[in-house]
A and B are shown apart, each in its own frame.
Chain A
């Protein structure tokens, strides 16, 4: 039971990282695709202003997920880190270069230097989620051996892994575009609202198609996972699909209320669907599962206790961070300082009803997961 709780904690941190940090990567992607410095200036400014206050905070969850993974399931962690060493190394390099490019770009003078640093930021925003996706793909496709002793190129360059890599990039772009629609609408910027609405719709359709393609590709590479995704995890897969369709419908109708929460819910449902489908196996194709790849019982108890403390401390801090941005931006009038204050706004604002919706949505996902497991145990 305690190992399953730690597994759920791991999934929760991955969900937070995907829905918050993933949107940061997506912002970089739209920066990359915004065109030359004249044409791309306006969308780049909105992207920059929305990422700046939150990007470091959002990437806390990657650190947290990695620490929980290696502390709680060291055997599985070692196998993944050894077999998929290269894509993990490239993803970490991307994280470092991305942060440096983003921070330095604001401080340097001169177009050439800004362009070069902008390119570093935008290109690593593309490569980092791609390589992270190939690692998850290698796990899902069952290509990580339990006692890996060497890096394996084929573990992450097979069709499933590459497809999930592209899916990650696309999902990040989708989340960012939807969040940016909300941000543009909140600022009353009709032009950028339309600009990101088109991009959100396109990337939404592409992400949906890639998700379906991944599902059918899994039928070839890991039929057990496929059967469970269409079996016991089907409710979550349906939640993901319906939320995705609802987002596209809302976008077409030009409505922004609840949009961001629904987009995040779609991504969260996919992650929990994967977790439920794979349970209790950690690395498909091996004998490693939650109960035998784990650290001693005391360590797992410590992690659960630690997570409770983290939730109590970090949760309110994040709420404060997002609400501070909300109130700062709300007070800004047409004074000269308004631009500065506007730039302090984050992706998510507390005044939005979206917060309530996302809470309700996440509780609903939790409820479905709980119900699935209760039914399993009753049998």
Chain B
């Protein structure tokens, strides 16, 4: 049980640590040298490009999980079935 939780917990700890450093440093982007306001782009369209990036990475993240799960199903069945996937069970067996 503890082992199963420790995987996601490691990711949560990493993300939280990141938020602490980024938020804690404000208003500096480089401490005592450059403020975040001064470092920000003068270009428009920040919201638009950020939205596209969020959507693209949400799709890629979902696709990664779906594909990893389908790979793991195929690996479990590998005794009966042979699949031509790179780094797949057939290679590992030979």
Could you tell me which A residues sit within 8 Å of B by CB distance?
A: 52, 82, 85, 89, 93, 96-97, 100, 104, 106-109, 149-151, 336-337, 340, 343
Contacts and interface: CB of A to CB of B under 8 A. Distances in A.
Contacts of A108: 67, 70
B75 to A, nearest CB: 12
Contacts of A149: 42
Nearest to B90: A340
Given A107-B67, A343-B86, A85 B91 contact: no
Contacts of A100: 60, 63
Nearest to A89: B49
Contacts of A52: 86
| Nearest 6 A/B pairs, CB to CB | A149-B42, A107-B67, A151-B43, A85-B43, A100-B60, A106-B86
A116 to B, nearest CB: 11
A107 B71 contact: yes
B85 interface: yes
20 contacts: A82-B41, A82-B43, A85-B41, A85-B43, A93-B52, A93-B56, A97-B56, A100-B63, A104-B67, A106-B86, A107-B70, A107-B71, A108-B67, A149-B42, A150-B44, A151-B43, A151-B44, A336-B94, A340-B91, A340-B94
A83 to B, nearest CB: 9
Nearest to A152: B43
Contacts of B43: 82, 85, 150-151
A82 B70 contact: no
A261 to B, nearest CB: 29
B56 A109 contact: no
Contact of B56 (A85, A96, A104): A96
Contacts of A85: 41, 43
A107 B85 contact: yes
Contacts of B42: 82, 149-150
Contacts of A150: 42-44
A149 B85 CA distance: 49
A243 B27 CA distance: 55
A336 B90 CA distance: 11
Interface in B51-94: 52, 56, 60, 63, 67, 70-71, 85-86, 91, 94
A104 B49 CA distance: 24
B59 to A, nearest CB: 9
Contacts of B45: 151
Contacts of B91: 340
A154 to B, nearest CB: 15
Given A151-B45, A340-B91, 16 more contacts: A52-B86, A82-B41, A93-B52, A93-B56, A96-B56, A100-B63, A107-B67, A107-B70, A108-B67, A108-B70, A109-B70, A149-B42, A150-B42, A150-B44, A151-B44, A336-B94
A89 B49 CA distance: 8
A121 B63 CA distance: 15
Contacts of B60: 96, 100
Nearest to A151: B43
B21 to A, nearest CB: 21
Contacts of B49: 89
A343 B87 CA distance: 11
Nearest to B57: A96
Contacts of A107: 67, 70-71, 85
Contacts of B41: 82, 85
A337 B94 contact: yes
A50 to B, nearest CB: 14
Nearest to A86: B45
